[in-house]
Structure 1
């Protein structure tokens, strides 16, 4: 698993501020379709960017509960400025399988890039079901890492790097089984949308460029990958210029309680 100490939190926050991920948050909010006055929980809220945007949507009569297990991430979420007229944001220590909320207390729940890290997805879905009010809705966004297309000069090396990168997740292919898991947990009307990340041409302020350095650091020493191997791969993907190409699919699941 990835750890989010101060340096890790700072790096992830930088990724979240790229145009790619900002656009993803816009799509998530469009699908969730929050209304003024609603109560919403952001499960695995990270540095609080989505929570702040949702606070503006639900307004002063609504509320946002940002649940995050990382202390460094919670500090960033606490420090993030709220726009005028936004809802109060309650930032709490907690996790997907232990939400610090009463039964039937929120109208909506959202979790982006969290459930693929969980070893007990059914348990976490049961917890989401518990805190949602009848008629409430949940939106889960996760990645199938087999959907990645990353142009490099050495495809065999890239395949080894990405196979080692899969080890940072409990399930790198979670979207394939998430719809039936939601139904088994008591949710209904499951709708699915694909949200692709696409980078053409190298841009240091892109999801792929920033994630490449994280991948290179993580895979070093895993699956027989040396530091030299990881650095050679990183040098490759960051030196392609206009020939760079990256695509990755994330899948949004919207379901009713």
Structure 2
């Protein structure tokens, strides 16, 4: 769901989609969207594709920026996420948001349909990043831009009273990812698939006390729901891990780096 945050290539049921939407609405992720929109530098009339549109928060913000003469299209593989995005599809004085169920390896639009393609927290879930970028290149007009945001999970610092358990939980969570360290190689892959990288920056997330209304507060629920049955972890292990983090209060610490790439189509 190039829409906003994590695990965007997972098929979410209605409950999980609502859980993820609540994370997208935290100030941490709102700040992330501001960084993405600054990098997009959209103009009135731009045609934009959001790959992995998620709950549609970024799409709605972009629709206001491109105005009624622009075009915003969003694709996602999750019916439940698209249902949430449809609640944001009508933007006053903005472009209407067109939504379709599709994946990035087969984008349902003709060649040279868009000025910009944006995708946040999707490519790290893809087995064939180069193939996806070639498909993105196909639907971009000449000199069009792609803006990608992905996480290097090796940058994660998360305090726990049980470091061994934390390592086991995070290792299990990374089983959901095709490449948990994609930003390290993404510029090279962009260059090999018909793009010229023009801008790179870090987008950090820092939480220094436990609060359910932060990115990491919501991430605790997502991780603890995912890891049972992975890496020999049980539901009891996941609960103990989550309870430990929540008990830290003002001693809580979470830091994670996301990486933003802008590239121009050759």
- Pick the TM interval, shorter chain: over 0.9
1:190, CA displacement in angstroms?
3.4
Instruction: Give the Cα separation in 1 of the matches to 2:94 and 2:184.
Output: 36
Partner of 2:4: none
Does structure 2 conserve the Cα–Cα contact (< 8 Å) formed by 1:161 and 1:230? yes
Partner of 1:211: 219
Is 1:38 the counterpart of 2:32? The answer is no
Match of 1:53 among 50, 61, 77: 61
Instruction: Give the Cα separation in 2 of the matches to 1:140 and 1:148.
Output: 19
Q: TM-score, normalised by structure 1?
A: 0.97
Is 1:179 the counterpart of 2:187? The answer is yes
46-55 or 78-87: which moved more?
Answer: 78-87
Partner of 1:147: 155
46-55 or 75-84: which moved more?
Answer: 75-84
Q: Which ranges of structure 1 fall in alignment gaps of 5 or more residues?
A: none
Q: Which ranges of structure 2 fall in alignment gaps of 5 or more residues?
A: 1-8
Partner of 2:207: 199
Partner of 2:116: 108
RMSD: 1.1
Instruction: Give the Cα separation in 1 of the matches to 2:37 and 2:250.
Output: 32
Map 1:1-257 to 2 at 5 A.
2-80=10-88, 82-257=90-265
User: Residues 31-68 of structure 1, C-alpha deviation per residue, up to 9 Å, x if partnerless?
Assistant: 11111110000000011110000000000110100111
Instruction: Give the Cα separation in 1 of the matches to 2:123 and 2:37.
Output: 18
User: Residues 190-225 of structure 1, C-alpha deviation per residue, up to 9 Å, x if partnerless?
Assistant: 321100111111111011011111111211121121
User: Residues 163-188 of structure 1, C-alpha deviation per residue, up to 9 Å, x if partnerless?
Assistant: 11100111111111100000000101
How many corresponding residue pairs? 257
SS across alignment from 2:189: helix
Q: TM-score, normalised by structure 2?
A: 0.94
Does structure 1 conserve the Cα–Cα contact (< 8 Å) formed by 2:190 and 2:197? no
